[in-house]
Amino acid sequence: MTALTVDAGDPVSSGQVLARIDPAAVNARVTQASADLERARRDLRRDETLFNQGYISTQRLEDRRTAVTAAQAAYDAAAFDGRWSRLIAPAGGVVLERLAQAGEVVQPGQTVLRIADLSSPLVLRVPVADRDISRVAIGQEVRAVIDSLPGEALAGRVVRVGQGADPRTGAVAVEIEVPGRPDLRSGLTAKAVFPASGGVQDVVRAPAEAVIEASGQSAYVFRLKGDRVTRTHVVFLGFDGDHARLRGLAPGDRVVTAGGGFLSDGERVRIADASALSGALK
């Protein structure tokens, strides 16, 4: 690497050249590939003339065309490598860490700089105990208390809930998106305050047959209101015997457990079999 123009703490702008590598080897490959491509094209033009005169076979002409295609691909690959002789900032922000020095030999894929994009939201990563993870759902509103901002709480939103627990602590990683601010920095410590459960946020148990269109934690049920059904989104938290554990229903809601696949949102229904309904239980 022949040049590295920034250090930790320096601001950078989108498209700024941050580092350069010695282009000698890359340029040599581009020159060699360009020469091979020109030779293949020249051979093809000559053999096309001979083919039209009946001196060579169709197979030889096709071989020449294949050689041109291969040479073009090699040239494109070499030219692509040439574009990576410069390290360009993908977004405006600030350099968090410098992991290499000018004059160092860097390998493909090696991290040179870590940059924080100040225009994007910050992410707060918190471990949540396994006994409480069922009360956390994607999209849930959370208050983030930053240690460097005493007495102030920021509005956050859960964007990711881990699918596995840490084998040492048993905690599940949860990521919370917090709006970026000039006085916030990457690496600060904070606490996440989750809302107390209540109402439709309680976890309820409903017959497994009531759940439709389940994908990960997202699922739907048909809830009965009067003589009409409402297609209701719920958070699927797994099975408990013959029942599904759900969030998004209130205790006592009635859900369709048979024939839900044939219903549409808002459709009027007539209950022909009382066993087709069940109360959602805690």
Residue range 44-65, pLDDT digits in tens: 999 999 999 988 899 999 999 9
Mean pLDDT value across residues 181-207? 73
Average pLDDT, the chain: 83
> Of all helices (H) and strands (E), which one includes residue 37?
helix 24-52
At 191, list the tokens. 């606490």
At 46, list the tokens. 């000559």
Residue 42 dihedral angles phi and psi, to the nearest 5°: -65, -40
> Of all helices (H) and strands (E), which one includes residue 65?
helix 58-83
Mean pLDDT value across residues 160-175? 85
Q: Is 230 left (phi over 0), alpha (psi -120 to 50) or beta?
A: beta
Type of residue found at 55: Y
Bridge partners, residue 86, by sequence: 20
Report the half-sphere exposure of 176 (CA within 13 A, side-chain side): 26
Mean pLDDT value across residues 81-94? 80
Kindly provide the residue ranges of all beta strands, DSSP E only, lying in 226-265, ordered along the sequence: 228-240, 243-247, 254-256
At 67, list the tokens. 């050689």
The pLDDT score that the predictor gives to residue 198 is 46
> Of all helices (H) and strands (E), which one includes residue 47?
helix 24-52
Decide if 8 contacts 95 (C-beta within 8 A). Answer: yes
Residue entry with tokens 């160092």 = 104
The pLDDT score that the predictor gives to residue 33 is 92
Q: Mind listing the pLDDT tens digit for each residue in 131-158?
A: 778 778 888 888 888 877 777 788 888 8
Confidence of residue 72 (pLDDT cuts 50, 70, 90): very high
State the distance between the two ends of the chain, measured CA to CA, in whole angstroms: 63
Domains delineated in the chain: 3-114 (1.10.287.470), 121-196 (2.40.30.170), 200-279 (2.40.420)
| Closest among 185, 117, 193 to 155, alpha carbons compared | 193
The pLDDT score that the predictor gives to residue 65 is 94
Mean pLDDT value across residues 114-127? 82
The pLDDT score that the predictor gives to residue 84 is 72
Q: Mind listing the pLDDT tens digit for each residue in 238-274?
A: 887 888 888 778 777 888 888 777 888 888 887 766 5
Angle, helix 24-52 to helix 58-83, in steps of 10 degrees: 160
- What CA dihedral angle connects 183, 185, 188 and 194, to 10 degrees? 70
The pLDDT score that the predictor gives to residue 281 is 46
Type of residue found at 93: G
pTM of the model: 0.44
Lowest mean pLDDT among 31-35, 80-84, 151-155, 204-208: 80-84
| Closest among 185, 18, 187 to 99, alpha carbons compared | 18
Report the half-sphere exposure of 265 (CA within 13 A, side-chain side): 6
Residues in the chain: 282
